[in-house]
């Protein structure tokens, strides 16, 4: 692809300053022109606004006309643009050929429309893997050492050195999903003596580093009775929605901990509350919920064996630079005609 006259890259507010930084740092070595697609109405090229935490937007309304920008083939779904923004962007770009998303999850993206338009989609695999993998290990330690219990005691000024504490060495962790997060967390856990059982959709010739053995995707439930930790690190799709249901929870050890760093929709929260009340599992560390923020008064709040994280295990001061550098590399590959990394299977949803 010729880049002498510049590549137009569409995106949310803030994309102009991001592209300017990437060009100034030499990560993009050809002319790039930003096209800012506003969050709520109209389009503006070169805006310096930053996409904030606006509420989700619906599909574009007739009263809010969206200008069409023919010939623009690249869309960068950068930062925290709300869900409805993507519909505005797709409506504005009739010639779109490639969309890159900073995020990994595709459950809020209209994949059917993108597939029908033959748009190549890439995602941000690797952008958040390190901090999330560290959180997985932290969550395992928090469960073994009953951290949530002691935090509640500390807040209440209670001295009670009676809870039974465990060690990670010799325990078993069932990783539901061995994508970039699971693949990075597995060797970290293994270094602490954890036996890691991995579940992945695609068969692998041999277990990845840190994984003791692999299990076929349709056999994961048979592994629940032997697991001390069940880690959800897989995408939310039609097939995985609600997979951690009452049957799965009742099959777990009474001492086992559920760790979810993926999507809230993977877990039947009503069943989880009942399992916690009945003592069917030891506890949970949860970073994602069906409704976010988790509503005040929700029965998952305030439990001595539940740690609620506000969908924040991804956070790190290195994230923004990592996301921007990944897009710059992808854009160079696009311009040079090289294969793009992290291509999404639009039929599978990830």
Is the dihedral angle over the CA atoms 176, 80, 122, 83 positive or is it negative? positive
User: Is it true that the peptide bond before 188 is cis, omega within 30 degrees of 0?
Assistant: no
pLDDT at 3: 52
Mind listing the pLDDT tens digit for each residue in 68-107? 999 999 999 998 778 789 999 999 999 999 999 999 999 9
Catalytic hit among 38, 78, 263, 269: 263
pLDDT at 54: 33
pLDDT at 56 over 90: no
pLDDT at 52: 30
pLDDT at 84: 87
What CATH number labels 7-127+317-336?
3.40.50
How is domain 129-308 classified at the architecture level of CATH? 3-Layer(aba) Sandwich (3.40)
Catalytic hit among 292, 318, 336, 338: 292
- Where do the structural domains in the chain lie, given as residue ranges? 7-127+317-336, 129-308
* 129-308 has the same fold as 7-127+317-336: yes
Is 292 annotated in the active site? Answer: yes
Catalytic hit among 311, 322, 329, 332: 311
- At 34, phi and psi to the nearest 5? -80, 145
Mind listing the pLDDT tens digit for each residue in 302-336? 999 999 999 999 999 999 999 999 999 999 999 99
pTM of the entire structure? 0.89
Mind listing the pLDDT tens digit for each residue in 108-167? 899 999 999 999 999 999 999 999 999 999 999 999 999 999 999 999 999 999 999 999
Nearest to 285 by CA among 129, 133, 138, 130: 138
What DSSP letter does each residue of 45-56 carry, written as one string?
TT-------PPP
pLDDT at 66: 87
Tokens 């696009």 — which residue? 334
Alpha carbon distance 272, 253 (integer Å)? 14
Alpha carbon distance 342, 350 (integer Å)? 9
> Mean pLDDT of all residues in the chain?
92
Report the side by side order of strands in the sheet with 43-44. Answer: 43-44, 32-37, 7-11, 74-77, 98-101, 120-122
């Amino acid at each position: 692809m010729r880049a002498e006259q510049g590549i137009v890259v569409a995106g949310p507010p803030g994309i102009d300053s991001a592209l300017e930084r990437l060009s100034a740092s030499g990560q993009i070595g050809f002319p790039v022109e930003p096209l800012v697609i506003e969050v709520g109405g109209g389009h503006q090229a070169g805006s310096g606004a930053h996409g904030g935490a606006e509420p989700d937007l619906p599909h574009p309304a007739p009263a809010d006309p969206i200008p069409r920008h023919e010939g623009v083939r690249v869309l960068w779904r950068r930062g925290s643009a709300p869900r409805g923004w993507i519909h505005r962007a797709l409506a504005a770009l009739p010639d779109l050929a490639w969309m890159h998303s900073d995020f990994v999850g595709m459950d809020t993206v209209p994949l059917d429309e993108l597939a029908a338009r033959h748009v190549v989609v890439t995602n941000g695999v690797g952008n958040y893997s390190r901090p999330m993998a560290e959180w997985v290990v932290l969550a395992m330690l928090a469960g073994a050492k009953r951290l949530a219990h002691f935090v509640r005691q500390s807040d209440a000024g209670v001295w009670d050195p009676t809870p039974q504490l465990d060690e990670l060495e010799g325990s078993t962790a069932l990783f539901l999903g061995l994508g970039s997060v699971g693949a990075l967390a597995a060797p970290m856990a293994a270094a602490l003596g954890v036996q890691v059982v991995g579940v992945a959709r695609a068969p692998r010739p041999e277990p990845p580093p840190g994984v003791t053995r692999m299990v076929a995707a349709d056999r994961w439930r048979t592994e629940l009775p032997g697991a001390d930790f069940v880690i959800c690190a897989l995408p939310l799709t039609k097939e995985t929605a609600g997979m951690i249901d009452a049957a799965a929870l009742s099959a777990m050890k009474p001492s086992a901990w559920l760790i979810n760093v993926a999507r809230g929709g993977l877990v039947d929260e009503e069943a989880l509350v009942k399992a916690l009340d009945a003592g069917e599992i030891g506890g949970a560390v949860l970073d994602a919920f069906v409704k976010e923020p988790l509503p005040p008064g929700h029965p998952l709040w305030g439990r001595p064996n539940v740690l609620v994280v506000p969908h924040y295990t991804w956070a790190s001061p290195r994230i923004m630079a990592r996301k921007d550098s990944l897009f710059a590399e992808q854009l160079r590959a696009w311009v040079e005609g090289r294969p793009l990394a992290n291509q999404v299977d639009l039929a599978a949803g990830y």
